[in-house]
Structure 1
Amino acid sequence: MLSKNKIKFIQSLNRKKTRDQEGVFLVEGNKVVLEAVASGFPVKLLAASSSFLKNNRLTATAAKEVVECSPEEIKKASQLKTPQEAIAVVEIPTHQLTNAQLAGEFSLALDFIQDPGNLGTIIRIADWFGIRQVLCSVNSVDCYNPKVIQASMGAIFRVQIHYLDLAKLANEAQESQLPVYGTFLEGENIYTSNLSPHGILVMGNEGNGISPVLAGKIRHKIHIPSFAHGNAGSESLNVATATAICCSEFKRRVV
């Protein structure tokens, strides 16, 4: 049985302040909960139906606390319109970032990404393309927001997310000969640009692009051209869609 206090606590994890204070985040949905259990991240609480626990052979060792509960109890605790059979409360990991982790790798940097769905989708894109580090500006949306977790579809357990000063990072990267790319309307056509298999790709805010201070640090400016005829096309691409296109082109060059 899921007590009223536990239901209230689970609901409170919608707030960043609570997540930061408690050091945990919320995971919902059968697939993502199973990813959490298999990830090695400490699971503090697993609340699930009897059929979910039985069908997935999950025992009391799957989490520090396992609570078998009814669909009604899960519905009360859930933040989804259509809850599934399982909810997990997972400890927030501590990731340390070093220059050595970025050297010889291709990483993503996100400048002031505000939409949780966009961030979650970008984390999923990073996972698909084998990108292990996603570097976020400190004013970007929290990666442990429940909507980010849902959109990442389990990729949050395989991709390391860091919040830091991106302008400082860009300086340090270029001092160590690691190229920094950024997407700009005035940038060079990505399909004809010389792209390095190693470096950092900066993607900007949904409405304003890359901030002026950071833009001034970026030497390699690239652009995804439109193939629409005349002025009939869209003005811009969604940032997650643009990220997928850019990652595909960078990775295609090294296959």
Structure 2
Amino acid sequence: MISKNQIKFIKQLDQKKYRKRENVFVAEGHKVVGDLLSCGFEPHTIFATNQWKAPRDIAFQEVTDDELRKISFLQHPQQVLAIFHMPAASPATIQDQLVLALDGVQDPGNLGTIIRIADWFGISDIFCSADTADVWNPKVIQATMGSIARVRITYTDLVALIKEAQVPVYGTLLDGDNIYQQTLSQNGIIVMGNEGNGISPEIRQLITNKLLIPDFNTGDSHAESLNVAIATAITCSEFRRRN
């Protein structure tokens, strides 16, 4: 049986200050939890119904469906909720590889989807500005569908990072050049901006290769812009297609 103190503790982890204080985060569902376990993330506590097929030697606290609903952040809980220790920070490099830099991406769903996109296209490092959404937010973790286990996230000063990098810096901008007609390198930094304001002026000045995803709708009425996660997927796909 799950206690009131356990319920309170889990619910507090919806807030960044408590996640930071306890150095833990919440993951839900057999896919996300399974990927984190298989990639070596250390569990703090796992709560699961008797329907969950636990990996061998993994201990968990059995709960009822009703108890799982009380602690879940999902509308429809998925057999298991796990609290994991946050991984220790490890040095990341941008030399000889393609990386993403997120400049103020604030929607948790967008961030989680971008992490999933990076995983699909073999991008192992994402650098985030301080005002980008917290990667350990339960909504972000859920949106990654397990890809958080394979993509390293580093929060840093993007201006300093880009200035020190000796690689091409790409950014999607309305005054950019058609991405389908440009030379794209195998390594470099792809900058993606805030949902409403795009790439900040400070970072915009540092972009060496401005790219535009063209609008093929020639009618009088068309979409104003692309969702940042969709734009990330198109951009990453084009880089990988070329190389």
Q: TM-score when scaled to structure 2?
A: 0.97
Report the Cα offset of residue 230 of structure 1: 3.4
Distance 1:230 1:213 in 2: 34
Show structure 1 runs of 5+ residues with no match. Answer: none
Look up the match of 2:11: 11
**Residues 43 and 62 in structure 1, CA contact (< 8 A), matched pair in contact too:** no
Give the superposed CA RMSD. Answer: 1.1
Q: Structure 1 counterpart of 2:193, which letter?
A: G
Question: Aligned to 1:162, which of 151, 154, 168?
Answer: 154
Report the Cα offset of residue 58 of structure 1: 3.6
Q: Structure 1 counterpart of 2:118, which letter?
A: A
Show structure 2 runs of 5+ residues with no match. Answer: none
Distance 1:36 1:159 in 2: 11
* Structural mapping, 1:45-194, within 5 Å: 45-52=45-52, 56-58=53-55, 61-62=57-58, 66-98=60-92, 101-173=93-165, 176=166, 178-194=167-183
Q: Does 1:211 align with 2:215?
A: no
Distance 2:220 2:170 in 1: 27
Identity of aligned residues (%): 51
Distance 1:51 1:226 in 2: 48
Task: Please state whether the residue corresponding to 2:18 is helix, strand or coil.
Answer: helix
**Residues 112 and 138 in structure 1, CA contact (< 8 A), matched pair in contact too:** yes
Q: Structure 2 counterpart of 1:90, which letter?
A: F
Report the Cα offset of residue 5 of structure 1: 1.0
Q: Does 1:199 align with 2:188?
A: yes
Question: Aligned to 2:212, which of 206, 223, 245?
Answer: 223
Once the two structures are superposed, residues 160-195 of structure 1 have per-residue CA deviations (whole angstroms, 9 ceiling, x without a partner) of 00000111111111xx2x111011000010000111
Task: Please state whether the residue corresponding to 1:41 is helix, strand or coil.
Answer: coil
Distance 1:214 1:57 in 2: 45
Q: TM-score when scaled to structure 1?
A: 0.92
Distance 2:64 2:36 in 1: 21
Once the two structures are superposed, residues 203-255 of structure 1 have per-residue CA deviations (whole angstroms, 9 ceiling, x without a partner) of 0000000000111111111110000013322111000000000000001001x
Distance 1:35 1:182 in 2: 31
Inter-CA distance 57–47: structure 2 relative to 1 (3 Å threshold):
closer
Q: Does 1:237 align with 2:226?
A: yes
Q: Structure 2 counterpart of 1:73, which letter?
A: E
Report the Cα offset of residue 37 of structure 1: 1.8
Distance 2:98 2:54 in 1: 38
Look up the match of 2:20: 20
Report the Cα offset of residue 57 of structure 1: 4.3
Distance 1:136 1:97 in 2: 14
Distance 2:132 2:122 in 1: 22
